[in-house]
Amino acid sequence: MTGAASGIGQALAFALAAQGAQLALADVDAQGLDATAEQARQLGAQRVHADVVDVAQRTVVQDWADTTVERFGQVNLVINNAGVALTASVDEMEWADFEWIMGVNFWGVAHGTKSFLPHLRGADPARGAHVVNVSSSFGLFGMPQHSAYSATKYAVRGFSDSLRNELRREGSEIGVTTAYPGGIKTAIVRNSRTSEATDRVEVEAVHDTLSKTSPENAARVILRGVRKGHAHVYIGRDAKLMDFGTRFLGSAWEPLVNASIQRAKTKVVRRAAAPS
């Protein structure tokens, strides 16, 4: 699993550890990764290997996949979860930031999927073979100031849908689940990049206000989706609402979402201005 040092990835590692799983954890944050690995062992993981892996680096991910199979003999569940955020308008966004987010959020998922797929084909069918790719509710709706992030998450969705249908057509038992978290209480925005013109404090406050789901709950929903073989899992009422709105209201849904973001921003600004 990638992105295991924090947030949803860490919660997934703990939930799997409590089930006695054998875990191969990866992240760029060595310290956070060690802390996750240590706690996963205490929670009951049978075996844990933690490696510093930058998912944007193709050969690094390929080597990690090969090493993981050498260590464990087989791989049954691959979770491409590592991700970063960028808040910037299309006008203000730096190309370097655009490339950075594509590298982690899209290429990271593609590298992880393609590197582990041949190994999943060799997994013992009795133990299953499954890929989870983490998209976002912003992979259902093009959120203003998040064009690059939304582009990566739509791409994850398209890539995963296509893979699922390819595997189905060939009669493969490998499952593919795409996860669409809504607002989850994690460090994602604190670790994010923003354009110079963006009010970072406001972005963090809006995320804190709108994020209602804990990472532990997100992990539970994802793992239930894997157990049930669901193609898509929507995490939190906000993600479910986003799916409903985009599906049934189409573009009439867009002004409603924009108005609700504006309300959240106004609430945050009022709260900041209120005497303490």
Ligand X SMILES: NC(=O)c1ccc[n+]([C@@H]2O[C@H](COP(=O)([O-])OP(=O)(O)OC[C@H]3O[C@@H](n4cnc5c(N)ncnc54)[C@H](O)[C@@H]3O)[C@@H](O)[C@H]2O)c1
Residues 6+ apart with CB under 8 A from 41: 17, 48
Find the binder of ligand X among 1, 9, 48, 219 (CB under 6 A).
9
- Interface characters, 18-57, with ligand X (x: CB under 6 A): ---------xxx--x--------------------xxxx-
**CA neighbor of 246 nearest in space, from 232, 262, 235, 257:** 257
DSSP character for 102?
A: I
How far apart are alpha carbons 257 and 263 in whole angstroms? 10
Q: Is 60 in the site for ligand X (CB under 6 A)?
A: no
Distances (CA, A) of 31 to 12, 64, 251: 18, 18, 44
Q: Is 81 in the site for ligand X (CB under 6 A)?
A: yes
Find the binder of ligand X among 112, 175, 181, 225 (CB under 6 A).
181
Q: By CB under 6 A, which span of 14-22, 169-177, 184-192, 225-233 interacts with ligand X?
A: 184-192
How far apart are alpha carbons 177 and 222 in whole angstroms? 8
**Considering beta carbons, is residue 78 or 104 the nearer one to ligand X?**
104
**Considering beta carbons, is residue 61 or 123 the nearer one to ligand X?**
61
Half-sphere exposure of 213 (CA within 13 A, CB side): 24
Residues of the shown chain interacting with ligand X in the complex, contacts defined by CB under 6 A: 2-3, 5-9, 27-29, 32, 53-56, 81-84, 104, 134, 136, 181, 183-184, 186-188, 191, 211
Catalytic residue set: 149
